[in-house]
Amino acid sequence: MSKSHKLEDVNLTQELENIKDFDDNGDEINISIDEEEFKPYVFKQKEIKRKYQQTDIPTKVFALGGLEEVGKNTYCIEYDNELIMIDAGVKFPDSYMLGVNAVIPDYSYLVENEKKIKALFITHGHEDHIGGIHYLVQQVKIPVIYAPKLAAMLIRDRLKEYKLQDETVVKEYDADDVWATKNIRVSFAALNHSIPDAFGILVQTPNGNIFSTGDYKFDWSPLGHFAELNKLAEMGEQGIELLMADSTNAEVEGYTQGERDIIKNIDKLFLQAKGRIFLTTFASNVHRIQHIIETAHKYGRKIVILGRSFERIIKMIRQLGHLKISEKEFIKSTDIDKYKPNQIMILTTGSQGEPMAALSRIASGKHLSINIIPGDTVIFSSSPIPGNRADVEKLVNKLTRIGAIVIENNPNLKIHTSGHASQEEQKLLFSLVRPHYFMPMHGEFRMLKKHVETGESVNLEKGNGFVMANGDVLELLQGKAQIGKRVEADAVYVDGKDMTGQASNVIRERDILSKDGLIAVVVSIDSQTNTLIAQPRIISRGSFYVKDSGAIIGESISIVTNAVNEVLSSPKPTFGAIKKAIKSSLSPYIFKEKRRNPLIIPVILNKKS
């Protein structure tokens, strides 16, 4: 029997003072609290008495992606001969991953244990949680995918795009649905995020209950529904053996700002703008897109959509009834000149300064039908993702130079907020579910570590937080938790239409080529006499200019000649040994002279006597 956890008393008066309310117009209402009426009201939570079924089989929990990184969220829970997955995401490539379209997990473990897989459950419809599905189903038989309505629609659309709709079955679930096998029971709790239909997933196993949040925050003024805090509290009373929670904002103090505040500020900008409005945001932020379109309609502006990602998501939310604006309010980019500047709002891709996105092409004068004119207002309802800031600043400078009024998110005017819980919301989650053990997920290492510290500041016992890496296996058995045998969980790089992925050494070679170039070393040998029959040739591409580097070429030829002759004079010379000798001898010299590490490719021409 596990040790019980007792939560500190909760002061209701203090909690109420932190809550804001809004009227139907979105204006803030001041809530006054009668101190005398609430004064002594403090409630206590019951102690948890955890129960486990008699078993000597552990429940295994592990991630194929999503730990020590942001992206490719893919989590597995396994008991005996049953395995369920939670999410199957993709990670977008870093700038150095040349020629790579996406990064996905290594699915080897799932291929080997395919017969155990009972279902894949999706928490919400963002790419880092569903973007790997069309790769996954080509390698692994997934009997059924359960997803919320919007996510299910996005998944079906993607599978159809790749002609994979017959590879699996996609079914929808709602907050009150329950799914069960012999040993595993799954239920759901609605949470807040930047997309409709975001859920946490409760998985009940013989070794205790596991709750996975997916991406979440607690929005006290949501554009959609409120999070089901009552369900979370009920789960806490039943006993949560393991909490798996979103760590994206683990280093951010306070609360995440509510989405309604952002919409109010955007509304003010629409009211002030005299000319056309260009607005760019993340295509994944469905709630905001919906209300931006409604705000444009409110101020009598026709709406132009630029970018396939926006077109796709707007089509989906319209079909689901989240967007009730008539199609007559949307116009083509070629029809803009038929309206006055103050009658136009252009929703465009390009919030991260992507060179090929619509806003970047407009700023560069390369768009077929739209140019920036003085007096246009460009609103960035976003924040630069790490690594993209330079591209965004370059784009902002271009837009400003040609006369646009550029408005970015800033402390004095919040026009963007995160979809992830900050520290105070994370503390509230711990207070509600009171986990025995904790496995932070969805974050870099420092975020995961900080999240454990936050849990320990509330009610998590020291030593009960597990900062894990992809492939690490946490085993739960009869109230105890320990790290088990690792599973394969390397990153796989998807190149073009190649669904099998590229090895990391291929990406490394591309990176070297782009930065340090290539040197080909051509040697001609006689394998019968084990002799060089011609002087080695040095061919440089992108490493250094040969015509201006005669001394380096001459010394390189000498180094290669000596290295090859040394191998040829050995008892049993091989081509492999010759290639290795060329690389190991030439590479240090080139680095010493040019401070470069080019890719060295030995080419051996063999002439038999």
Q: Could you tell me which residues are annotated as the binding site for Ca(2+)?
A: 99, 495
| Beta partners for residue 61, in sequence order | 77, 474
Strands (E), 183-340: 185-191, 198-205, 208-212, 242-246, 277-281, 302-306
The angle formed by the CA atoms of residues 460, 463 and 466, to the nearest 5 degrees, is 85
What is the Cα–Cα distance from 185 to 204, expressed in whole angstroms? 5
What is the Cα–Cα distance from 127 to 377, expressed in whole angstroms? 30
If one counts every other C-beta atom within 10 angstroms of the C-beta of residue 7, the result is 17
Decide: 167 and 190 in contact? Cβ < 8 Å: no
Indicate which residue of 134, 420, 436, 451 is catalytic: 420
**Nearest alpha-carbon partner for 148 in 103, 82, 210, 214:** 214
Residue type, 145: I
3-state secondary structure of 307: coil
C-alpha 94: how far from its chain's center? Answer: 12
Q: Could you tell me which residues are annotated as the binding site?
A: 99, 124, 126, 128-129, 193, 215, 283-285, 416-420, 442, 495
Phi first, then psi: give them for residue 506, nearest 5 degrees: -65, -45
Decide: 78 and 115 in contact? Cβ < 8 Å: no
Half-sphere exposure of 356 (CA within 13 A, CB side): 1
Tokens of 92: 């977008």
If one counts every other C-beta atom within 10 angstroms of the C-beta of residue 237, the result is 15
Tokens of 56: 């000597």
What is the Cα–Cα distance from 535 to 524, expressed in whole angstroms? 8
Tokens of 301: 């502006």
3-state secondary structure of 144: coil
* 420 tagged catalytic: yes
369 contacts: CB under 8 Å, gap ≥ 6: 333, 334, 336
Indicate which residue of 197, 246, 267, 516 is catalytic: 246
Tell me, what DSSP letter sits at residue 342?
A: G
Rg (CA), the chain: 29
Tokens of 42: 């403090």
Tokens 């010394």 correspond to 555
Tokens of 354: 């992507």
Q: Could you tell me which residues are annotated as the binding site for substrate?
A: 283-285, 416-420
> Using H for helix, E for strand and C for coil, what is the string for 200-219?
EEEEEECCEEEEECCCCECC
Distances (CA, A) of 55 to 80, 113, 222: 10, 22, 43
598 contacts: CB under 8 Å, gap ≥ 6: 512, 516, 517, 518, 519, 540, 542, 543, 590
Decide: 189 and 175 in contact? Cβ < 8 Å: yes
What is the Cα–Cα distance from 130 to 574, expressed in whole angstroms? 49
Residue 324, class by beta-carbon neighbours within 10 Å (0-12 exposed, 13-18 middle, 19+ buried)?
Answer: exposed
**Nearest alpha-carbon partner for 62 in 241, 248, 244:** 244
- Report which secondary-structure segment, H or E, holds 261: helix 259-272
The pairing of beta strand 473-477 with beta strand 480-483: antiparallel
* 367 tagged catalytic: no
Active-site residues, by number, are 246, 420
